[in-house]
Amino acid sequence: MKLIAGFDAGQTHTTCRLALAGDGLAPTPVRVIGEGDGPGVCHLAAPEGPERFEAALRESLVRARAHLVDAGEPAGTAVLVAAAVGASGIELGSPVQAHGQALAAEALGLPLERVLVTGDERTALRGAFPDGAGLVVISGTGTIAVGRDGQGREHRCGGWGWLLDGAGSAMDIGRDGLALSLQMADGRAPDTPLRRALWAALDLDPDDPGSAQRLKALVVAASFGPAGFARLAPVVDQQASAGEAEAIAVMERNADALAAMAAGVARGLDLLGPAVCPMGGALHHLEQLRRPFTSRLAVVLPGSRLMSAAGDACQGALAMAVELTARG
Please report the pLDDT score of residue 92 as a whole number.
87
Find out whether 296 and 52 touch, Cβ atoms under 8 Å.
Answer: no
Residue 328 predicted with pLDDT over 90 = no
Average pLDDT, the chain: 93
Structural domains in the chain, CATH included, are: 2-130+311-326 (3.30.420.40), 132-309 (3.30.420.40)
pLDDT, tens digit, 9 for 90 and up, residues 273-282: 999 999 999 9
Q: State the pTM of this model.
A: 0.90
Residue 74 has a pLDDT of 59
Give 91-129 pLDDT, tens digit per residue.
888 999 999 999 999 999 999 999 999 999 999 999 999
Whole-number percent of the chain with pLDDT over 70:
95
Asked whether residue 26 carries a pLDDT value surpassing 60, the answer given is no
For residue 72, pLDDT beyond 90: no
Nearest to 201 by CA among 170, 225, 177, 220: 177
Query: Looking at residue 131, what is its pLDDT?
Result: 87
Listed in sequence order, the residues at least 6 apart from 94 whose beta carbon sits closer than 8 Å to its beta carbon are: none
Of the candidates 57, 52, 160, 126, the one whose C-alpha atom is nearest the C-alpha of residue 322 is: 126
Q: Name the phi and psi angles at 220, rounded to 5.
A: -95, 0
The edge-to-edge listing of strands for the beta sheet with 115-119 is 32-39, 13-20, 2-9, 79-87, 115-119
DSSP letter string, 211-243:
HHHHHHHHHTSTTTHHHHHHTTHHHHHHHHHTT
